[in-house]
């Protein structure tokens, strides 16, 4: 537990230097990169912070998206007392102590206390219930941070007294901006080390970070330190980045940033069809105490993203592995996760579904209001029939081979082909069917005028 504020004189000399991610933490709202949907001009959360009208809230977002930074800035901007502790290390006793002190500070000095609870989803129901009366009375402004869906992980009674704000994972451009600022900062950043990093090097770090600013800054700092000094500069290269990323991975912490490096290793080993590496990374995460259901969710995602219709059974098997773990628990249930991992590694690979979905999403973003063709609209009322809804619709089951030569995409997208099956696994047969169907349809469609 620690109070937010400046360190006492002499404290810095006896304390190890803080990591770069802590040193360059934003000191004002305008320094925060990303989260424009929450902190842009006129947005409700920014307005609440700037006017001091704070309320209890849950910050839901991936690691490194700025939850801790945002909570500490609320205290800095509003002049509130800031107390932070982790749900992993604290219990009801610590909660009572914090609440008591908050009550006394409020009575003596009229000072509000922002209680920041990291990983609030790890508190059980009794621990979460302990906050309720104090949030209700305004003794504390509760700011809970979670990487898990609060609808499932936070008690409904507590959730109803808090507003939920969803933070987004940072984009590559956001991470690049944060790293460039750290490289140029001579007071808190790395400028005094005379670093030099190419745009390609920074993009490589951003790829490793996977949307996590903390990971990006820690890898950058280690890469600069590892870079040899030549000609007065420390040049960050692909080799130093690779070494820095590997060293960070060895420091795996299931409650911190490194689990994303490990899950990346598992995902890429599966994609490379390497069952031995995949099993190693899975086992390492299990032994470190990683959340089993988090691993199961990633395996389910892989089944759709990287196996897809090349082996549709992979999705069924990974869901069954999740159910098996739920049923058996540790350690027996771990075997089901290992079984699913080995199956995914050896399954034929296809990202055709993933690519098709992304292309369709991009078209929807570019053309969000394309009208549905009249012939495939329902016409439940007379007016809709008179307007042409459903006119010319052909019922596929009434046609030979259940094939009709009508077009179902909006006119502006006619001819668009999203799904391009690979020639691997079952998808090869799906591709044959799709190619034959597209050929059949193209022969019957009149040329577009």
For the chain, give every domain's residue range. Answer: 2-166, 172-250, 259-346, 373-444
For residue 196, the SS3 value is strand
Mean pLDDT of 17-24: 84
The encoded tokens of residue 127 equal 């621990």
Does the pLDDT of residue 60 top 80, yes or no?
A: yes
Instruction: Select, from the ranges 34-38, 382-386, 404-408, the one with the highest average predicted confidence (pLDDT).
Output: 34-38
Mean pLDDT of 20-29: 89
Does the pLDDT of residue 145 top 80, yes or no?
A: yes
Q: What is the per-residue pLDDT across 247-288, written as a single tens digit (0 to 9) for each?
A: 544 444 444 445 667 888 899 999 989 999 899 899 988 877
Residue carrying structure tokens 């459903």: 390
Q: State the DSSP H helix or E strand holding residue 141, giving kind and residue range, or none if neither.
A: strand 141-146
**Do 181 and 196 meet the contact criterion of CB atoms below 8 Å apart?**
no
The encoded tokens of residue 354 equal 């993933």
Can you name the CATH fold of 172-250?
A: Helicase, Ruva Protein; domain 3 (1.10.8)
CA atoms within 13 A on the CB side of 420: 7
CA distance 14 to 1: 19
Q: Is the dihedral of CA 257, 258, 263, 268 positive or negative?
A: positive
**Do 327 and 319 meet the contact criterion of CB atoms below 8 Å apart?**
no
CA distance 252 to 261: 8
> Residue 255: its pLDDT value, please?
46
> Residue 252: its pLDDT value, please?
46
pLDDT more than 70, % of the chain: 90
CA atoms within 13 A on the CB side of 192: 5
The average confidence (pLDDT) of the chain is 83
pTM: 0.52
DSSP 8-state code for residue 82: E
First to last CA, the chain: 70
CATH classification for the domain delimited by 373-444, as one of 1.20.272.10, 3.40.50.300, 1.10.3710.10, 3.10.20.30? 1.10.3710.10
Mean pLDDT of 25-47: 89
pLDDT more than 90, % of the chain: 24
Q: What is the per-residue pLDDT across 301-348, written as a single tens digit (0 to 9) for each?
A: 999 999 999 999 999 999 999 999 888 888 888 999 999 999 999 999
Q: What DSSP string describes 222-236?
A: HHHHHSPEETTEEEE
CATH superfamily of 2-166: P-loop containing nucleotide triphosphate hydrolases (3.40.50.300)
Closest CA to 338 of 280, 297, 294: 280
Between β-strands 233-236 and 229-230, what pairing exists: parallel, antiparallel or unpaired? antiparallel
**Do 71 and 117 meet the contact criterion of CB atoms below 8 Å apart?**
no
CATH classification for the domain delimited by 259-346, as one of 1.20.1250.20, 1.20.272.10, 1.20.1440.130, 3.40.1390.20? 1.20.272.10
**Do 202 and 172 meet the contact criterion of CB atoms below 8 Å apart?**
no
> Residue 217: its pLDDT value, please?
92
Q: What is the per-residue pLDDT across 187-198, written as a single tens digit (0 to 9) for each?
A: 899 999 999 998
Q: Which residue has the higher pLDDT, 16 or 442?
A: 442
Q: What is the per-residue pLDDT across 175-191, written as a single tens digit (0 to 9) for each?
A: 999 999 999 998 899 99
């Amino acid at each position: 537990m620690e109070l937010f504020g400046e360190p006492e004189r002499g404290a810095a000399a006896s304390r190890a230097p803080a990591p770069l991610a802590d040193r360059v933490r934003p000191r004002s709202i305008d320094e925060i990169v990303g989260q424009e949907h929450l902190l842009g001009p006129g947005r409700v959360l920014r307005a609440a912070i700037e006017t001091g009208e704070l309320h209890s809230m849950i910050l839901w977002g991936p690691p490194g998206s700025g939850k801790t930074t945002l909570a500490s800035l609320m205290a800095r901007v509003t002049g509130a007392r800031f107390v932070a502790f982790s749900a992993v290390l604290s219990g009801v006793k610590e909660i009572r102590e914090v609440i008591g002190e908050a009550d006394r500070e409020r009575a003596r000095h009229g000072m509000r206390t922002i209680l920041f609870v990291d990983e609030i989803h790890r508190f059980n129901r009794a621990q979460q219930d302990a906050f309720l009366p104090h949030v209700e009375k305004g003794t504390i402004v509760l700011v809970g941070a979670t990487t898990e869906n609060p609808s499932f992980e936070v008690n409904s009674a507590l959730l109803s007294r808090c507003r939920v704000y969803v933070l987004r994972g940072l984009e590559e451009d956001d991470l690049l901006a944060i790293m460039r600022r750290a490289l140029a900062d001579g007071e808190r950043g790395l400028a005094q080390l005379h670093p030099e990093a190419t745009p390609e090097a920074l993009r490589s770090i951003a790829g490793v970070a996977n949307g996590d600013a903390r990971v990006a800054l820690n890898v950058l700092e280690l890469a600069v330190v590892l870079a040899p000094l030549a000609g007065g500069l420390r040049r960050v290269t692909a080799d130093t980045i690779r070494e820095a990323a590997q060293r960070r991975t060895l420091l795996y912490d299931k409650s911190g940033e490194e689990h994303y490096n490990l899950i990346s290793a598992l995902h890429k080993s599966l994609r490379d069809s390497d069952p031995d590496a995949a099993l190693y990374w899975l086992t390492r995460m299990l032994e470190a105490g990683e959340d089993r259901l988090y691993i199961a969710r990633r395996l389910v995602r892989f089944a759709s993203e990287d196996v897809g219709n090349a082996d549709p059974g992979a999705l069924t098997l990974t869901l069954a592995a999740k159910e098996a773990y739920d049923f058996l628990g540790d350690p027996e249930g771990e075997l089901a996760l290992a079984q699913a991992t080995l199956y995914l590694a050896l399954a034929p690979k296809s990202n055709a579904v993933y690519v098709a979905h992304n292309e369709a999403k991009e078209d929807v973003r570019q053309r969000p209001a394309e009208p549905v063709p009249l012939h495939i609209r329902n016409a439940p009322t007379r007016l809709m029939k008179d307007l042409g809804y459903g006119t010319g619709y052909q019922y596929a089951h009434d046609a030979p081979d259940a094939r009709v030569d009508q077009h179902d995409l909006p006119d502006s997208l006619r001819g668009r082909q999203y799904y391009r099956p690979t020639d691997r696994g079952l998808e090869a047969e799906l591709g044959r069917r799709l190619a034959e169907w597209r050929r059949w349809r193209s022969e019957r469609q009149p040329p577009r005028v």
